[in-house]
Amino acid sequence: MSKALFAPGSKVELDGQNAVVSYENDEAFVLFFEGGRQREIPKQVLRLAFNEGRLKYRVDTPHSKLSRFPYLTRSEAKQAQRLLAYLSPMAESTTPGSVATHKAIIAEVVKTSGHEVLPAPKPITLYKWFKKWDASGRNVLALLPSVKGQQRQSRLAPQVVDLLNDAIDQFVLTNKPATAAKAYRSFEKKVQQLELDVKVPSAQTFYNYVNAVHPLERTLKQQGNAVFQEKSLAVTKHYQASYPMERVEFDGVHLTFGLVDEQLNLIAKEVIVFIAMDVYSRAIVGFSYKYGDRVSEDAELVINCVRSVLRQKNVTAGVILTH
């Protein structure tokens, strides 16, 4: 079982000081201390403080999917050993970015370890593993699906997921894409050949993975960078306005941080600021906002922003005053 350390909204005591956990990202938590002081503290530092008894938290702490002590299952431990079999030689190589190095390492590892390291990754997959592993401080847990933070844990065996992604890269995400059915047949055949003692995923499961590929990633791989850049451009990057207020564009900014009162009670975890921008001058001509634990853009937010745009404004000493 995994035990949550703490989560946003938890009241904790760190080194004798009371604090409230404001929010968390992949690497750290932000804590608000009494007196209004705010600190961003890496999760590894907090775990060390917990182990040393310097961090205390309440029993009814909210559940957190991001901060867990890793307890590996037998399957996860086997996958970790498989990953390290390929990653250790990469760490010792003087040319870890070379495709020739990737191919040589894969061939040597398969020759030495046999079925224990199958299926063998493609060179590009090995390099992706290495970059993620290296960025995490060479912590193999960063590559395991069950400890990747908020990502949903796959029900498929890790080896099967690797084969599935390889099939999508080879047949679908290419400048001459094949049908998803053809990609699935190739994937199904490889799983059966490896005799992994796992059930082959259904065609529908495979199609779900194909459909989950981001449209822009699909465009980049299938149609090239030029089309990708064209589709990913925001409207403001290619619309040429001739005069002020000819075109006003709206956009929402989602900010994740904690709002607390003087007693460190958490008021809100998220703020949305809706902004209206004049394309010609790039000036902000209106805004609106809302905050809460879980907020989203809605009609009221847009209407209030439009009202802000239309509201009379007076400019005094360089400051815009609204009525």
CA pair distance 25, 253, nearest whole angstrom: 17
CATH of the domain at 52: 2.30.30
Find tokens 């390492």 and name the residue.
105
Q: Per the confidence metrics, is the pTM higher than 0.85? A: no
Residue 321 pLDDT exceeds 60: no
My answer on whether 81 and 58 are in the same domain is: no
My answer on whether 86 and 97 are in the same domain is: yes
DSSP summary character for residue 152: P
My answer on whether 32 and 51 are in the same domain is: yes
CA pair distance 218, 233, nearest whole angstrom: 16
47, 4 contact by CB (below 8 A): no
In a domain, 123, yes or no: yes
Domain that holds residue 76: 70-153
CATH of the domain at 220: 1.10.10
My answer on whether 165 and 139 are in the same domain is: no
Residue 217 pLDDT exceeds 70: yes
In a domain, 238, yes or no: no
My answer on whether 286 and 316 are in the same domain is: yes
Question: Lowest-pLDDT range, 7-11, 41-45, 94-98, 213-217?
Answer: 7-11
My answer on whether 159 and 186 are in the same domain is: yes
My answer on whether 128 and 168 are in the same domain is: no
CA pair distance 41, 21, nearest whole angstrom: 10
Contacts of 287 (CB under 8 A, 6+ apart): 273, 274, 275, 276, 305, 308
Note the pLDDT tens digit of each residue in 233-279: 543 345 667 788 888 888 888 888 777 877 777 888 888 999 999 88
**What per-residue confidence (pLDDT) applies to 77?**
63
The total domain count for the chain is 4
Of 226, 220, 119, 129, give the one whose Cα is nearest residue 169: 220
For range 165-191, the mean pLDDT: 89
Top-confidence residue, 18 or 228: 18
In a domain, 239, yes or no: no
My answer on whether 257 and 316 are in the same domain is: yes
My answer on whether 149 and 159 are in the same domain is: no
DSSP summary character for residue 293: S
Phi, psi of 144 (to 5 degrees): -90, 130
The amino acid occupying position 145 is P
In a domain, 108, yes or no: yes
Residue 47 pLDDT exceeds 80: no
My answer on whether 200 and 255 are in the same domain is: no
The amino acid occupying position 312 is Q
**What per-residue confidence (pLDDT) applies to 105?**
93
In a domain, 237, yes or no: no
CA pair distance 68, 133, nearest whole angstrom: 18
In a domain, 241, yes or no: no
In a domain, 214, yes or no: yes
Mean pLDDT of the chain: 76
My answer on whether 101 and 175 are in the same domain is: no
What percentage of the chain reaches a pLDDT higher than 90?
11
pLDDT confidence tier of residue 28, bands split at 50, 70 and 90: confident
CA pair distance 303, 284, nearest whole angstrom: 16
Phi, psi of 279 (to 5 degrees): -65, -35
Note the pLDDT tens digit of each residue in 77-120: 677 778 888 998 998 888 888 889 999 999 999 888 877 787 88
